[in-house]
Amino acid sequence: MAIKSVGVIGAGQMGNGIAHVFALAGYDVFLNDIDEARIDKALGQIEKNLDRQIGRGAITEADKADALGRIAKTTDLVPVAQADLVIEAATENEKIKNQIFASLAPHLGERTILTSNTSSISITRLASQTDRPERFMGFHFMNPVPVMELVELIRGIATDQATFEELKQVVASLGKTAASAEDFPAFIVNRILLPMINEAVYTLYEGVGTVESIDKAMRLGANHPMGPLQLADFIGLDVCLAIMNVLHDGLADTKYRPCPLLVKYVEAGWLGRKSGRGFYDYRGEAPVPTR
């Protein structure tokens, strides 16, 4: 099966990045969201990101025009379901994801491959709610999608080898590198990354260091390009908390207990960059630590 068309569900930060890289690689893309204004915002962001690539000499104006011309916006799931490949990139909530796959079911093409960009939820469990668990996989892109080279490919217990091979080829066609992960909570990247971020929050919570000193220590002492609290704000504190809850619930180990301070920030609506405040306050000219 030659995959030529891709349906992307969710026009948020991840969805618009996924649509961007597929359109630039020559695929026809259906970008879907329940909110048309959100799709328009996503298309504006895609255009800005393409301009950045032009500025770096990575692509040409013609490449940008071709890519934008390949993206069709839709609030209707029917054309998305008819694509060769569907990538669900909605919020990190299993109930919502299951509702989306249920809505797609009556309209799916016979050979359509279903995938989820989930960062932590069981692929086996999501696949079991569909009519094609053998053609269902985790397709986890890293943020920001146009920049990050890795894609985690996660097989559920029923995923067949042909589906894995097809998606591995798709990843290569995007100019990215695939890493195969088994279907355990949070897979590889977030199984390692999120406990580190959670420990950084505990370090702040216990008064070992300030926001500024913790991030400076990890940037200069461990050569990380971004401090863990700055990174948490970039990911979204609600997403960080959701992944920690999946790890804690799925592995039943107290070392994955979300830090109470992380919970408190999320309860306050301080979710990071996207809400204007998190471990840093982004409402001024430069980010300022909130603790």
> Residue 54 sits in a domain of what CATH number?
3.40.50.720
Percent of the chain with pLDDT over 90: 97
The stretches of the chain forming alpha helices (DSSP H) are 13-24, 36-55, 61-69, 77-81, 94-104, 123-128, 161-173, 189-205, 211-221, 228-235, 237-251, 260-267
* Tens digits of residue pLDDT in 225-267: 999 999 999 999 999 999 999 999 999 999 999 999 999 999 9
Instruction: For residue 269, count other CB atoms closer than 10 A to its CB.
Output: 12
Same domain as 209, residue 150? no
> Residue 207 sits in a domain of what CATH number?
1.10.1040.10
Same domain as 172, residue 199? no
Same domain as 158, residue 245? no
Residue at which a domain ends, from 143, 161, 182: 182
Q: Which of 9, 58, 12 is nearest to 273 (CA)?
A: 12
Same domain as 37, residue 88? yes
Q: Is the CB of residue 9 less than 8 Å from the CB of residue 90? A: yes
Q: Give me the number of domains the chain comprises.
A: 2
- Per the annotation, the verdict on 119 as an active-site residue is yes
* Tens digits of residue pLDDT in 25-42: 999 999 999 999 999 999
Indicate if the pLDDT at residue 194 is higher than 90. Answer: yes
Indicate if the pLDDT at residue 1 is higher than 80. Answer: no
- Per the annotation, the verdict on 36 as an active-site residue is no
Residue at which a domain ends, from 155, 182, 209: 182
Q: How far apart are CA 222 and CA 193, in angstroms?
A: 14
**Mean pLDDT rounded to a whole number for the chain:** 96
Q: Which domain holds residue 100?
A: 5-182
Select which of 119, 120, 122, 198 is catalytic.
119
Cα diameter, the chain:
56
Give, as one character, the DSSP assignment of residue 277.
B
* Tens digits of residue pLDDT in 84-103: 999 999 988 999 999 999 99
Q: Which of 22, 54, 206, 185 is nearest to 119 (CA)?
A: 185
Q: Which residues are annotated as a binding site for NAD(+)?
A: 10-15, 33, 92, 97, 119, 143, 274
Specify the pLDDT at position 68: 97
- Per the annotation, the verdict on 94 as an active-site residue is no
Same domain as 209, residue 86? no
Q: How far apart are CA 164 and CA 278, in angstroms?
A: 38
Checking DSSP bridges between strand 5-9 and strand 136-141, what pairing results, if any?
Answer: unpaired
Same domain as 155, residue 39? yes
Select which of 122, 140, 166, 198 is catalytic.
140
